[in-house]
């Protein structure tokens, strides 16, 4: 079922989770172990992130180095199929521009369609680790908007192979990313929202946000989106803080601020166990307030911390 239909049919705020594929070498059981405890909250859908390959230099026996492309976390499509089969819950694969030609994207979409996946979250992806800024493949998509247009075309039965006539139509529900604190490359929030609006006008049916730790930023973002004519559901993305390192890592990697009250409380903690308690309490408060404002879904980035997420969602039901 489509994410947008889950939202339309809901009588209350829904719950959803987001997971990372396990590191290469692990089994699908690591996904089940991660998700099993969270199933009692009846998530409406589960997102699975996509991780592009990284270029690395491996030392050879003769002492010289060889350049290799390694994907540390493959398996997004397979995990989505496994989740749908194992739990009978809708899966939302993330699909990125980076590292894909348009033809490879088309083939991935065909695989997802054959597997019965109804949803995709389309993203640009970040720059490859060895590049200073994002560069698409020579025949790939540059912006999430371009990737979205490709999915919309396939939904209309238009394939890249021009000689395919009367191609079957896919019917993906398409989500996109939004940034309450603006995307780090955007010159200002208004411009970022203008590009978000372009994604919605091109066919995005909902927005999932980057994490934020101050609900007011989400409320202001939603208002700015509404003022600019973006009227699709805006799902808040939520992540718990569980260790002190995140105080500097989250602003650096995700370009988000931590409110002073939260950072002060974390700095007073003696160890990460205490930080986890502070982070859990903070996210429970955030979640309760968002729920009381009638957000469509509370979307939790579980990212290796299912127990913490369990303790948070338990407080809401
Ligand atoms: P875009 O919408 O393409 O925007 C990128 C930048 O370009 C923005 O600054 C925007 O303002 C600007 N822009 C947009 N359109 C235009 C245009 N036409 N002309 C000029 N400028 C433009 N990354 C992964 O690799 N894998 C994942 O699974 C993943 N999941 C994510 C899930 C969520 C909910 C979020 C919020 C992010 C996720 N990311 C993921 C990270 C994401 O790929 C990065 O934040 C990336 O830098 C931007 O992606 P986007 O889809 O927002 O890009």
The 10 Å Cβ neighbour count of residue 311 is 17
Residue 165 has pLDDT above 90, yes or no: no
45 lines ligand 1 (CB under 6 A): no
* 76 ligand 1 Cβ < 6 A: no
Region 103-125: mean pLDDT is: 98
At the second CATH level, the architecture of 3-314 is: Alpha-Beta Barrel (3.20)
CA–centroid distance, 252 to ligand 1, in Å, is 16
Instruction: Write the pLDDT tens digit of every residue in 205-255.
Output: 999 999 999 999 999 999 999 999 999 999 999 999 999 999 999 999 999
Residue whose CA is at the smallest distance from ligand 1 atom 9: 186
Q: Measuring from atom 39 of ligand 1, which residue has the nearest CA?
A: 125
Give the residue, by CA position, lying nearest to ligand 1 atom 1.
144
Nearest-CA residue for ligand 1 atom 43 is: 125
0.75 cut: is pTM over it?
yes
Q: Whose CA is nearest to atom 22 of ligand 1?
A: 195
pLDDT at 58 over 90: no
CA of 1 to the centre of ligand 1 (A): 25
Atom of ligand 1 nearest to the CA of 125: 43
pLDDT exceeds cutoff 90 at 130: no
Q: Going by CA atoms, what residue is nearest to atom 29 of ligand 1?
A: 49
pLDDT of residue 161: 85
Query: Around 299, how many Cα atoms within 13 Å sit in the side-chain half-sphere?
Result: 25
Question: Which pLDDT does position 39 carry in this prediction?
Answer: 98
Domains of the chain, residue spans: 3-314
- Shortest CA distance to 241 belongs to which of 229, 254, 232? 254
The residues, any chain, with a CB within 8 Å of residue 264's CB and separated by 6 or more, are: none
In contact, 168 and 119? CB cutoff 8 Å? no
Which of 35, 22, 17, 27 shows the shortest CA–CA distance to 86?
Answer: 35
pLDDT value, residue 303:
86
Query: Ligand 1 in contact with 175 (CB < 6 A)?
Result: no
Cα dihedral angle (260, 212, 197, 11), rounded to 10 degrees?
A: -130
Q: Is the CB of 7 under 6 A from ligand 1?
A: no
- Within 10 Å of residue 267's Cβ, how many Cβ atoms? 11
Closest C-alpha to 174, from 146, 138, 136, 194: 146
Q: Average pLDDT for residues 39-52, to the nearest whole number?
A: 97
pLDDT over 90 (residue 200): yes
For residue 201, the model assigns a pLDDT of 98
Instruction: Look at residue 69 in the predicted model and tell me its pLDDT.
Output: 85
Q: What length does the chain have?
A: 317
């Amino acid at each position: 079922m489509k994410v947008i239909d889950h939202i339309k049919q809901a009588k209350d705020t829904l719950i959803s989770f987001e997971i990372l594929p396990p590191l290469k070498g692990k089994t699908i059981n690591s996904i089940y172990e991660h998700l099993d405890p969270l199933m009692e909250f009846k998530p409406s859908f589960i997102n699975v992130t996509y991780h592009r390959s990284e270029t690395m230099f491996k030392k050879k026996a003769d002492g010289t180095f060889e350049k290799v492309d390694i994907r540390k976390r493959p398996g997004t499509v397979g995990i989505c199929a496994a989740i749908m089969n194992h739990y009978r819950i809708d899966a939302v694969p993330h699909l990125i521009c980076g590292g894909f030609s348009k033809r490879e994207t088309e083939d991935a979409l065909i695989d997802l369609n054959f597997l019965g996946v109804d949803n995709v979250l389309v993203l640009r992806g970040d720059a490859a680790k060895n590049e200073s800024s994002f560069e698409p493949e020579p025949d790939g998509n540059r912006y999430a908007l371009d990737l979205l247009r490709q999915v919309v075309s396939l939904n209309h039965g238009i394939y890249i192979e021009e000689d395919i006539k009367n191609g079957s139509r896919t019917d993906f529900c398409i989500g996109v990313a939004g940034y309450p604190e603006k995307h780090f490359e955007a010159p200002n929030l208004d411009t970022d929202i203008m590009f978000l609006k372009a994604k919605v006008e091109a066919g995005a049916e909902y927005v999932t946000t980057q994490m934020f730790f101050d609900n007011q930023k989400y409320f202001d973002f939603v208002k700015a989106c509404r003022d600019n004519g973006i009227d699709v559901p805006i799902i808040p993305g939520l992540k718990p803080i569980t260790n002190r390192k995140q105080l500097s890592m989250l602003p650096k990697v995700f370009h988000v601020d931590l409110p002073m009250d939260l950072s002060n409380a974390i700095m007073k903690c003696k160890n990460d166990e205490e930080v986890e308690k502070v982070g859990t309490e903070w996210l429970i408060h955030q979640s309760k307030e968002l729920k009381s404002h009638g957000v469509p879904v509370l979307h939790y980035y579980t990212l290796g911390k299912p127990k913490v997420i369990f303790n948070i969602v338990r407080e809401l039901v």
